[in-house]
Amino acid sequence: MSSFYQLAFEKPIVELDARIEQAQHVGQAEIPALGGVAEQAGSDPASAKDDLKKLIKQREKTLKKIYKDLSPWNTVRVARHPERPQTRDYIEYMCR
């Protein structure tokens, strides 16, 4: 993942995102001779899906908790986030 703008209180969410991304790739391996992706031997797809669902639910709960308890200053920081859409972005989207 390339570098991006991250607020300090968002660190647990970013860590969970990385774990979710890793869980999505568990049990998958690139095998060039087969021309694509194949299941790895010994991995249980059902438990991998359960783990992924748990991580996604944990991320949602963490996200709600963090943004529910934001201080006024952190609310301002979110509002000024450089990657947040601005009016010109909405206008450009509507004019397409």
pLDDT single digits (tens) 21-73: 998 887 565 555 555 555 554 557 778 888 999 999 999 999 999 999 999 99
Terminal Cα distance for the chain, rounded: 30
Residue 16: pLDDT above 70? yes
More confident residue, 40 or 95: 95
Q: What pTM does this model have?
A: 0.66
Residue 2: pLDDT above 60? no
CB-based burial, 75-88: b 16+ in 10 Å, e otherwise: eeeeeeeeeeeeee
